[in-house]
Amino acid sequence: GENVEQHPSTLSVQEGDSAVIKCTYSDSASNYFPWYKQELGKRPQLIIDIRSNVGEKKDQRIAVTLNKTAKHFSLHITETQPEDSAVYFCAASRGSQGNLIFGKGTKLSVKP
């Protein structure tokens, strides 16, 4: 069935450095790819998303890229800050309109 793999499971960077989290999906019909940020003890919150007709999307310090041919998408965070420390989840739609399937998460630690 549909699967979303997320790497790495943990990531530690120095403040000001960039962070990249990668996800791969198996269903070529998937067409919606959101990213969520979950701070400790809080709910997951949508931070950025991308649809299959777009290759890249930016919002201030965060960006997402999508490679449909290779079936992978990535989250890029530039100029990281301590408040970026959280668990990040990627997700992909099951088929063109099905439920979101989530990756297992990446714990990002930004050291001051």
Find the shortest distance in angstroms from Cβ 15 to other proteins.
Answer: 26
Please, which residue, 84 or 94, has the CB nearer to other proteins?
Answer: 94
* Cβ neighbours of 62 (radius 10 Å): 18
- Report the half-sphere exposure of 70 (CA within 13 A, side-chain side): 10
Contact between 39 and other proteins by CB under 8 A: the answer reads no
Q: DSSP class of residue 42?
A: S
Can you tell me the distance from the alpha carbon of 22 to that of 24, in angstroms, rounded to the nearest whole number?
A: 7
Contact between 104 and other proteins by CB under 8 A: the answer reads yes
Contact between 32 and other proteins by CB under 8 A: the answer reads yes
Give the residues across from 43 on adjacent strands. Answer: none
Contact between 89 and other proteins by CB under 8 A: the answer reads yes
- Give the count of residues interacting with other proteins (CB under 8 A): 24
Can you tell me the distance from the alpha carbon of 5 to that of 24, in angstroms, rounded to the nearest whole number?
A: 5
Interacting residues toward other proteins by CB under 8 A: 6, 31-32, 34, 36, 42-46, 49, 89, 93-100, 102-105
